[in-house]
Amino acid sequence: MSLLLSGGDLKTRPGRFGILLGTLAMAHMLVALAWSLVVVSAANAASMRPVGAEKGMVVTAQHLATEVGVDILKSGGNAIDAAVAVAYALAVVYPAAGNLGGGGFMTIRFADGRTTFLDFREKAPRAASRDMYLSKDGKVIKSLSTIGWLAVGVPGTVSGLEYAREKYGTMARAALIEPAIALAEDGYTLDQGDVDMLASATEDLRRFPETTDIFLNKGEPFVAGQRLMQPDLAETLHLIRKEGAAGFYRGKTASAIVKASREGGGLIDQDDLERYRTREFAPIECDYRGYHVISAPPPSSGGVAICEMLNILEGYPLPELGFGSAQALHYEIEAMRHAFADRYSLLGDPDFTSNPVQRLIDKSYAAKIRDVIKPDRAELSSDIRLGVAPHEGSNTTHFSIIDDAGNAVSMTYTLNDWFGAKVVASGTGVLMNDEMDDFTPNPDSANIYGFARGNPNAIVSGKTPLSSMSPTIVTKDGKPVLVLGSPGGARIVTAVLQTILNVVDYGMNIQEAVDAPRIHNQWLPEETKIERYALSPDTRKILESMGHRFEDSTPANHIAAILVGAPSLGGKAIGRNRFYGANDPRGGTGLAQGH
Ligand code: GLY
């Protein structure tokens, strides 16, 4: 990786040299002392107990998919087998984000300590071009990249699942895909959570007759207790079962996608589909207070941003400051602000841009950032002079799996927005993504900050858009400790960060860590988004007096996490249970279950 020193060099960040280290240390001590009265202890939050199990654990956003994964583990499959079966099942029972027509990432840590990362995220069709979503006067026509066929990137999920199964799985394709076929063919009963998810997109789903036919009940929203049948999707899954990836990228399904795309004004052709290949990369790895973090490399920004933030925060006494203390939150927000400025400005598809990864995750870079973080004053995001403002979709799904041997899979995949571009090629039952919206559609806007390097996330034919998906695994002393990830676009990165902090620094058990209210700052806008109860009124006042600004946010993430060994780090195992799963209560349909 190159060590780029132009765009993201801290030289562009004003004020770095104005602060003397000694002054900073003194100020830090005084501030910590002054605020020690509002430090909140983390222990014993009011959460359900984590779900314990002895031989394996699966946490997904939909209970039926979790059951599929547990069945595969019980029948002797490894974590990769279970992940493939879960992903096929989620394409049926969690159609908002589970998918065949999208893409994603899989981080694997094998029981013998090896790690790898599979990238099966979408690519821009060959005919795609830099300004394809701009009007004649250079303005972004937003709907073109979010709904309908022009928004669709070349899907990677089926390629990725078959690649994972062939290379790292142990079971036959039929066994892994059969549960999904049954759920599509026989249907499944919709719970309130499933119905709420469908209802969130009723009007957009109505815009396309093929989509309406599947996801609305004779044109009206489904209600809980009704059954969702998907015979076309079952047929597509049958073809994959028979022919593997070729059953999707060639033949009947591919022809239907190409035809619908052409008729709908999209760009995907047969060649795009046949050329699609999963890529395998080394994950991003870094250390935090004795723990080893394994996460997503570019084309995700997730691992880089998480490591950058952890490196910054390692220099502050978070455990002493305490969960929810104004001082700890100040440092967390500032770390987020800096990491996101880099994330949005410097990273892109590694086949098209040279990402300054090593520099961004270097401890000395974090130390330089700490030098400019004032202990008692929020920095203005607009003073961190880098790149282009954030732009990305936010709806995705994540699941975490660990098997008896200790193989761990952390997988996040997506259609981008809920139900993607809302289009389905007739006869396939496959919802297609709107991942093209994750490119920066107006790369010239970067120049408002004098950013000279060219935008690394501009649309280029065959390129993969930058992602925030951060499937992550944490180890200690060579053993897996934590498997986690989340949906939520940019908020994925900060949700994963805070869950790690909650476990490592604040001593929470895994369910408490997942449940705890979260904050999110992504450099631009200035405001930090806060979930309800994330800040007490007096903590908020302290932070506002330091220059922080806040706005409310609705819960956007559904963390799926597993802690290994005990419900909390350093805790005691319960009976023979080795694995402790936590399903995020923010989602209405998920389940942690083991065996
Ligand atoms: N589409 C959301 C992400 O990739 O981060």
Q: Is 433 in the pocket of ligand 1 (CB under 6 A)?
A: no
Instruction: State the DSSP code for 105.
Output: E
Q: Please, how many CA atoms are within 13 Å of residue 93, restricted to the half-sphere of its CB?
A: 30
User: Does the C-beta of 489 come closer than 6 Å to ligand 1?
Assistant: yes
The pLDDT of residue 446: 47
Evaluate whether 248 touches 463 at the Cβ level (below 8 Å): no
Cβ of residue 470 lying under 6 Å from some atom of ligand 1: no
Counting the structural domains of the chain, the total is 1
Q: 468: Cβ below 6 Å to ligand 1?
A: yes
**Residue 16 pLDDT more than 50?**
no
Kindly report the protein residue whose alpha carbon is nearest to atom 2 of ligand 1. Answer: 489
Q: What are the pLDDT digits (tens) for 117-131?
A: 999 999 999 999 999
Residue 492 CA: nearest ligand 1 atom is 5
Q: What confidence score (pLDDT) does residue 10 get? A: 41
Task: Write the residue with the smallest CA distance to atom 3 of ligand 1.
Answer: 467
* Residue 573 resides in a domain: no
- Two structure tokens written together for 97: 């984000």
> Residue of the nearest CA to atom 1 in ligand 1?
416
Residues 6+ apart with CB under 8 A from 389: 344, 445, 524
Q: How far apart are CA 58 and CA 51, in angstroms?
A: 10
Whole-number pLDDT of residue 24: 40
Binned at pLDDT 50, 70 and 90, residue 44 comes out as low
Cis, bond preceding 299 (omega within 30 deg of 0): yes
CA contacts within 13 A on the Cβ side of 320: 11
Q: 567 C-alpha vs ligand 1 centroid, how far in Å?
A: 30
Counting Cβ atoms within 10 Å, is residue 209 exposed (0-12), middle (13-18) or buried (19+)? exposed
pLDDT confidence bin for 445, thresholds 50/70/90 = low
Q: Could you tell me if the CB of 327 is within 6 A of ligand 1?
A: no
DSSP 256: H
Pairing between β-strand 57-60 and β-strand 396-402 as defined by DSSP bridges: antiparallel
Tell the residue nearest (CA) to atom 4 of ligand 1: 467
Is residue 239 situated within a structural domain? yes
- The domain that holds 152 is classified in CATH as 3.60.20.40
pLDDT of residue 110: 98
Would residue 32 count as lying in a domain? Answer: no
CA of 397 to the centre of ligand 1 (A): 10
Share of the chain above pLDDT 70, in %: 89
Composition of the chain by helix, strand, coil, percent to 5? 40, 15, 45
Regarding the beta carbon of 416 and ligand 1, being less than 6 Å apart is answered yes
Mean pLDDT, the chain, integer: 90
Please answer whether residues 273 and 327 qualify as being in contact, where contact means their C-beta atoms are separated by less than 8 angstroms.
no
The pLDDT tens digits for 518-537 are 999 998 889 999 999 999 99
Sign of the C-alpha dihedral, residues 296, 167, 161, 589?
negative
DSSP 49: P
Marked catalytic residue, from 396, 397, 472, 539: 396
Provide the residue range defining the domain that includes 505: 59-545
Phi, psi of 531 (to 5 degrees): -70, 160
Residue labelled with tokens 């044109």: 219
Nearest Cα neighbor of 97 from 225, 222, 201, 171 is: 201
b/e per residue 110-128 (b: at least 16 CB within 10 A): bbeeebbbbbbbbbbbeeb
Q: In this model, does residue 14 exceed pLDDT 50?
A: no
Give the pLDDT of residue 395: 81
Q: Is the CB of 300 under 6 A from ligand 1?
A: no
575 found inside a domain: no
Q: How far apart are CA 155 and CA 248, in angstroms?
A: 10
Is the predicted pLDDT of residue 594 greater than 50, yes or no?
A: yes
Query: Does residue 6 fall inside a structural domain?
Result: no
- Residues 40-60, mean pLDDT to the nearest whole number: 81
Does 2 have pLDDT greater than 50? no
| Ligand 1 nearest-atom number relative to CA 416 | 1
Task: Tell me the percentage of the chain whose pLDDT exceeds 90.
Answer: 82
**What is the residue whose two structure tokens read 């290379």?**
167
Least confident range of 215-219, 345-349, 568-572:
345-349
pLDDT of amino acid 30: 43
Q: Does residue 450 surpass a pLDDT of 50?
A: no
Give the mean pLDDT of 205-217.
Answer: 97
Give the helix ranges, DSSP H, for 94-228: 157-168, 173-186, 192-199, 202-205, 209-215
Ligand 1 pocket check: which of 146, 414, 440 to mutate, most ligand atoms within 8 Å of Cβ?
Answer: 414
Domain-located, residue 251: yes
CA of residue 29 to ligand 1 center, whole Å: 39
pLDDT bin (cut points 50, 70, 90) of residue 391 is low
Pocket perturbation via mutation, ligand 1, pick of 340, 467, 472 by most ligand atoms within 8 A of CB: 467
CA atoms within 13 A on the CB side of 19: 21
Q: Is the pLDDT of residue 387 over 60?
A: no
Q: Which among 99, 438, 463, 472 is the best mutation to test ligand 1's pocket, defined by most ligand atoms within 8 Å of the CB?
A: 438
User: How much is the pLDDT for 45?
Assistant: 57
Catalytic site includes residue 202: no
pLDDT at 390 exceeding the cut of 60: no
Tokens representing 444 are 């010239």
At residue 553, the pLDDT reads: 85
Closest approach atom of ligand 1 to CA 414: 1
pLDDT tops 80 at residue 515: yes
Instruction: Check pLDDT > 80 for residue 35.
Output: no
Per the structure block, which two tokens stand in for 32?
A: 């910590």
pLDDT of residue 479: 97
Would you say residue 37 has pLDDT above 80?
A: no
| Triad 266, 270, 274: Cα angle to 5° | 125
pLDDT, position 345: 79
DSSP secondary structure of 521-571 = --SSSSPEEE-TTSS-HHHHHHHHHTT--EEE-------EEEEESSSSTT-
Q: Strand 528-530 to strand 550-552: parallel, antiparallel, or no bridges (unpaired)?
A: parallel
Ligand 1 atom nearest the C-alpha of 435 is 1
pLDDT at 253 over 70: yes
Give the position, in ligand 1's atom list, of the atom nearest the Cα of 438. 1
Peptide bond into 525 cis (omega under 30): yes
590 falls within a domain: no
Q: Does the beta carbon of 396 lie inside 6 Å of ligand 1?
A: yes
Asked whether residue 558 is assigned to any structural domain, the reply reads no
**Residue 123, CB-side half-sphere exposure with 13 Å CA sphere:** 24
Lowest mean pLDDT across 293-302, 389-398, 563-572, 578-587:
389-398
